[in-house]
């Protein structure tokens, strides 16, 4: 399977705990995106990388969120001190670097904060 | 004004009919427009994209772009019950970046 993969697929955590999600993009894709989606809404942009460089981060994100892509391959998204409002589907997408091109999404990680 | 707007629906069409889904965007400089389909509980999957004014056809799907009026639409011909899903419009915003802004999606129901 050469699509985008995400792990874990589901995560249940208690409020105040830290969680980390992983995304493995399509191998030849240089751009990697993180989104958050709640019920009835479209994916909300969080951040994106061009290779290992984080080019933009949403101002909606608090300092509790951080993302890395250390070697320009897989990426991790960490949420510190989780809150119930963080419960959502976290989606990763990748795209090739030829201009504004199409994105391909992974299956997502569903986070539930209790 | 929201950056990318879609009617949330649901839009109900009978099987075999044409479904028309619309999307408006606020950044006049946006260059790239994408349509995704999302089934309940699943992640979005790309249907098609369009960069130039006019129509672009791919099988039963046609994307239409009118940059002067700042809207993009998706037509689905011969709608099938399996087309029932939420359709998301995405736009590169602001212009000149590779950041994508999604609309809230339109829920389509195709009635057998």
The pLDDT of residue B28 is 83
The pLDDT of residue B73 is 97
Q: How confident is the model at residue B96 (pLDDT cuts 50, 70, 90)?
A: low
Torsion of CA A76, A78, A84, A85, to 10 degrees: -70
Buried b (16+ CB within 10 A) or exposed e, A1-15: eeebbbeeeebebee
- pLDDT tens figures, A48-81: 999 999 988 888 777 899 999 998 899 999 999 9
Give contacts of B46 with chain A, Cβ < 8 Å: 102-104
The pLDDT of residue A1 is 54
The verdict on A100 touching B (C-beta cutoff 8 Å) is yes
- Is pLDDT larger for residue A46 or for residue B99? A46
Closest chain A residue to the Cα of B102, Cα to Cα: A42
Closest CB to A45: pick one of B36, B99, B103.
Answer: B99
Question: What is the least distance, in Å, from the CA of B88 to any CA of chain A?
Answer: 7
CA distance A37 to A91: 7
The verdict on B99 touching A (C-beta cutoff 8 Å) is yes
Q: Do B98 and A100 touch (CB under 8 A)?
A: yes
The tokens 């897989």 sit on which residue? A74
Q: A79 has which bridge partners? A: A19, A65
């Amino acid at each position: 399977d050469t699509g985008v993969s995400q792990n874990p697929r589901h995560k249940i955590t208690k409020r105040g705990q830290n969680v980390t999600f992983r995304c493995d993009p399509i191998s030849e894709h240089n751009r990697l995106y993180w989104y958050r989606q709640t019920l009835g809404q479209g994916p909300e942009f969080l951040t994106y990388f061009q290779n290992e460089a984080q080019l933009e981060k949403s101002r909606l994100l608090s300092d509790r969120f951080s993302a890395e892509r250390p070697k320009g391959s897989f990426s991790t998204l960490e949420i510190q001190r989780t809150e119930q409002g963080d419960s959502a589907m976290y989606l990763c997408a990748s795209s090739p670097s030829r201009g504004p091109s199409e994105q391909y999404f992974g299956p997502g990680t569903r986070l539930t904060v209790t | 004004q929201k950056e990318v707007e879609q009617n949330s629906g649901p839009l109900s069409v009978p099987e075999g009919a044409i479904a028309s889904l619309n999307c408006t965007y606020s950044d006049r400089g946006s260059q790239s427009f994408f349509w995704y389909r999302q089934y309940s509980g699943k992640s979005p999957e790309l249907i098609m994209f369009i960069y130039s004014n006019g129509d672009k056809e791919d099988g039963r799907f046609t994307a239409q772009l009118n940059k002067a009026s700042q809207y993009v639409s998706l037509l689905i011909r011969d709608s099938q019950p399996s087309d029932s899903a939420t359709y998301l419009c995405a736009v590169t915003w602001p212009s000149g970046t590779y950041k994508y802004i999604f609309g809230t999606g339109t829920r389509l129901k195709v009635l057998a």
